[in-house]
Chains A and B, each alone.
Chain A
């Protein structure tokens, strides 16, 4: 169900991303996912009495990279303490940035042409993780909780958009474009399922033309699909409430993926009072022009640029090809495609092999070079390999690298000599005289029949084009 015509949804997204640093924000413990609980901790990230934070230089580099990629202004900034009690916070305050964040006033252009403003992208430290015992494993009903501080102190950047998004579909566009940017800068691996990228949505509704409505913050969105579903649900909930004459309460709501609804997280009479004040154990951050330039110079091209560069090389791309381009850009496969195009491979072949075969083996991409990819496709294009054979060679190259010709040879994909192909075709003509007669009379459909027979006899090793050439030659 969608909201009525004269209403609109107003959405702002807050995205937290863990930064791909080797160590945590303020100490030298490993920033690693999946370690045994409480094995990556030290006095600093455990907040032991007497410990002090020291800022990770690479976290600052990556925060600036994100700021530059989002067209933000990088300004001198300070760190603040956000004070509240919660067991996953070892100091019972979080070091974050408040009124002077490192990045502010940027924007992100969506593929549909919308420009979403980025209010800020600031640095902060992550908290530990608690698991709940007893009850359903969810927080409510648990009678004990266990805390793991491995994640405590992991560097985060929080990116806050303006309320410029107008639909759940746009929200998804924003989130996936932002994710692609974060991956491209090297700042993040964008894994929502692992929690390295977390999204909270601020949703409000209004009749078109009215003032902004009261917004609710939705948490626990673990995938782009949840993001969309939750926004749709919440928008409808709010509209129904308002249409009935009710009032939307400003609150934080929890998205339940299974029930497909948002619910109030807790009733509180007042908002939390975080008593923000400047963190006295850290000094101000004021990256000079030289530092900013170094970061800027080290940035690879961003998805939007790369998308444009790839599309520019396609002549009148079809919908399917544009879809393939999205997959290719998302997965960072465009250098491969460019290598193939440079070698003269035709674009639909290059895109198809990249968006399908390479996409399937994207975790082993490091085994395959652009040259090897291009050479394999060139062989296919020249008829030296069939489609099946080319895919097999690519599979092998992804698994263990190597040279395409050598791999093809090992697999026995030798080019059938014209003589042996001729002999095969000749023997088939003898075997199926009636079919041959009909082909000679102009029934082209039978070409397929003969190709199929040739393939059967040669166990798929014949090249389709060569077979057609052979048949035509004998016509």
Chain B
């Protein structure tokens, strides 16, 4: 399968065309979407128009961008003008945004060809894509298992060979975890590196949009293309997009990398083994590994499961049947709000809204939400202290490989526990990625997680590249 970089080069040089690449992508979509339920919506007319535009520009000798002709899948919590955007929820079924997210505008400018919108856990709340109102997505590597979540569809699109790259969003691990479960590179960028304008909010202080790809260079290319300051997002970092692709082969010589026990405790043996093997590779490549315990990380899960639902309860209040989306009529507007939201939201979303409302409510704010914010500060400080000792951290991405459908849905906590290694980075607002390394149970892929301070993406990619090359990836 061609990489995104290869496709772009070939389209620019005329060796291939955007139309041909789109055809190839759509062939795979047609062949596998029904079984895997990756795409909720395929925008063939839009994709063809964009592909034609790119091909015409190439034939005129005009500039086309770094992703010229590259098909891309977009998580369905990204607003794309005129295209159904549902967040996998009945409450937004049929809604077409009148505007596009900043990342999508940047993608179009770069010549990418959005193929369609992918399935997710409803409103990005979940770790398996099982809470989608439109059915789960199946892991292309083993369709009896989950692809992970919440960006399961975007991960599956790439893992199934439908598109070489895709965009997802990560609030507590929703890119990294599916990447690990599907054998892909997945990145949660530094908070503020990528604009959130047009990303339908789950937890505003934690959400970030990021790339899925089959290799490190493609992930870097995609991230570079969409990153950089956006005046439409007040929390966006002031700098322009960093150079990432040009540093992918920097290596790790002289880097200090911390191995964090709290980031492997409780993981399957095979996963711990993969992390250890990765450490050896990095050592061979000139890095110095030290063991570095960060006990504060253990509080991450508790803090996250108060902060994220609290923000979500407020972000999802707007779905009230008044201006767009589902409306279930009633005699008065409050009853209409209630009927609409009750019918429109699934159980997990309701659970989190109520948990969040409770955590913020009068009399409980200090004990729950207020306390969680302080724990978050402690985590930020703990990471700061760690990064005075080392450049990067390493651990597992997930406690297990892809799990069978229904195996973690008995009670919410079981599912929440699968985020234990990814959550701390979101709380701290820092950067992390998952890179495939080794296999586990049933030959399923394992992801190794690399973490770094804010704005350290270039270093993360360089380290991930070392691991990628060690596995024979070109």
User: What's the minimum C-beta distance from B79 to chain A, rounded to whole angstroms?
Assistant: 4
- CB-contact partner of A52 in B98, B234, B310, B357, under 8 A: B234
Q: CA A53 – CA B360 in complex, angstroms?
A: 22
Hey, which chain A residues are within 8 Å of B197, CB to CB? Answer: 50-52
- CB-contact partner of A93 in B79, B98, B101, B317, under 8 A: B317
User: What's the minimum C-beta distance from A460 to chain B, rounded to whole angstroms?
Assistant: 64
User: What's the minimum C-beta distance from B332 to chain A, rounded to whole angstroms?
Assistant: 9
User: What's the minimum C-beta distance from B245 to chain A, rounded to whole angstroms?
Assistant: 28
- Looking at the complex, which of B137-145, B159-167, B198-206 is the stretch in contact with chain A? B198-206
Hey, which chain B residues are within 8 Å of A83, CB to CB? Answer: 313-314, 317, 360
User: What's the minimum C-beta distance from B366 to chain A, rounded to whole angstroms?
Assistant: 12
User: What's the minimum C-beta distance from B445 to chain A, rounded to whole angstroms?
Assistant: 32
Q: Does A50 contact B317, Cβ atoms closer than 8 Å? A: no
Q: CA A145 – CA B333 in complex, angstroms?
A: 9
Q: Does A87 contact B333, Cβ atoms closer than 8 Å? A: yes
Q: Does B317 contact A48, Cβ atoms closer than 8 Å? A: no
Residue of A with least CB distance to B203:
A280
Q: CA A149 – CA B470 in complex, angstroms?
A: 58
The verdict on B404 contacting chain A, using a C-beta distance below 8 Å, is: no
Q: Does B324 contact A48, Cβ atoms closer than 8 Å? A: yes
The verdict on B419 contacting chain A, using a C-beta distance below 8 Å, is: no
A275-B357, A282-B234 given as contacts; is B98 within 8 A of A81 (CB)? no
Hey, which chain B residues are within 8 Å of A332, CB to CB? Answer: none
Hey, which chain A residues are within 8 Å of B333, CB to CB? Answer: 87, 145
Hey, which chain B residues are within 8 Å of A283, CB to CB? Answer: 234-235
Residue of B with least CB distance to A282:
B234
The verdict on A291 contacting chain B, using a C-beta distance below 8 Å, is: no
- CB-contact partner of B317 in A43, A54, A91, under 8 A: A91
User: What's the minimum C-beta distance from A60 to chain B, rounded to whole angstroms?
Assistant: 13
Task: Write out, one digit per residue, whether chain B residues 60-84 have a CB within 8 A of any chain A CB (1) or not (0).
Answer: 0000000000000000001100000
Q: Does A50 contact B200, Cβ atoms closer than 8 Å? A: yes
Hey, which chain A residues are within 8 Å of B365, CB to CB? Answer: 275, 277
Which secondary structure dominates where chain B touches chain A?
Answer: loop
Residue of A with least CB distance to B95:
A49
Which secondary structure dominates where chain A touches chain B?
Answer: loop
Task: Write out, one digit per residue, whether chain A residues 275-319 have a CB within 8 A of any chain B CB (1) or not (0).
Answer: 111001111000000000000000000000000000000000000
Q: CA A83 – CA B360 in complex, angstroms?
A: 10
Hey, which chain A residues are within 8 Å of B78, CB to CB? Answer: 50
Q: Does A281 contact B235, Cβ atoms closer than 8 Å? A: yes
Hey, which chain B residues are within 8 Å of A87, CB to CB? Answer: 320, 322, 333
Q: Does A273 contact B361, Cβ atoms closer than 8 Å? A: yes
The verdict on B170 contacting chain A, using a C-beta distance below 8 Å, is: no
The verdict on B242 contacting chain A, using a C-beta distance below 8 Å, is: no
Residue of A with least CB distance to B321:
A87
The verdict on B92 contacting chain A, using a C-beta distance below 8 Å, is: yes
Q: CA A50 – CA B98 in complex, angstroms?
A: 11
Hey, which chain A residues are within 8 Å of B311, CB to CB? Answer: 277, 280
Q: Does B318 contact A49, Cβ atoms closer than 8 Å? A: yes
Task: Write out, one digit per residue, whether chain B residues 86-106 have a CB within 8 A of any chain A CB (1) or not (0).
Answer: 010000100101110100000
Contact residues, A365-383 vs B (CB, 8 A): none
Residue of B with least CB distance to A281:
B204
Q: CA A93 – CA B357 in complex, angstroms?
A: 13
Q: CA A43 – CA B197 in complex, angstroms?
A: 10
Q: Does A48 contact B98, Cβ atoms closer than 8 Å? A: yes
Q: CA A60 – CA B415 in complex, angstroms?
A: 45
Q: Does A85 contact B234, Cβ atoms closer than 8 Å? A: no
- CB-contact partner of A43 in B99, B201, B235, B369, under 8 A: B99
The verdict on A90 contacting chain B, using a C-beta distance below 8 Å, is: yes
Q: Does B362 contact A54, Cβ atoms closer than 8 Å? A: no
User: What's the minimum C-beta distance from A246 to chain B, rounded to whole angstroms?
Assistant: 28
Hey, which chain B residues are within 8 Å of A49, CB to CB? Answer: 79, 85, 87, 92, 95, 97, 200-201, 318
Q: Which residues of B are interface residues toward A (Cβ below 8 A)?
A: 78-79, 85, 87, 92, 95, 97-99, 101, 196-201, 203-205, 231-235, 310-311, 313-314, 317-318, 320, 322-324, 333-334, 337, 357, 360-362, 365, 369
CB-defined A-B contacts under 8 Å, sample of 7: A49-B200, A50-B196, A50-B199, A52-B233, A54-B233, A85-B337, A280-B203
With A52-B234, A277-B360 given, name 11 new contacts (CB 8 A).
Answer: A46-B323, A47-B318, A49-B201, A49-B318, A50-B99, A50-B196, A50-B199, A55-B234, A83-B313, A275-B357, A276-B360
Nearest first, the 8 closest Cβ-Cβ pairs linking A and B are A92-B317, A275-B360, A280-B204, A280-B205, A49-B200, A50-B79, A50-B198, A273-B362
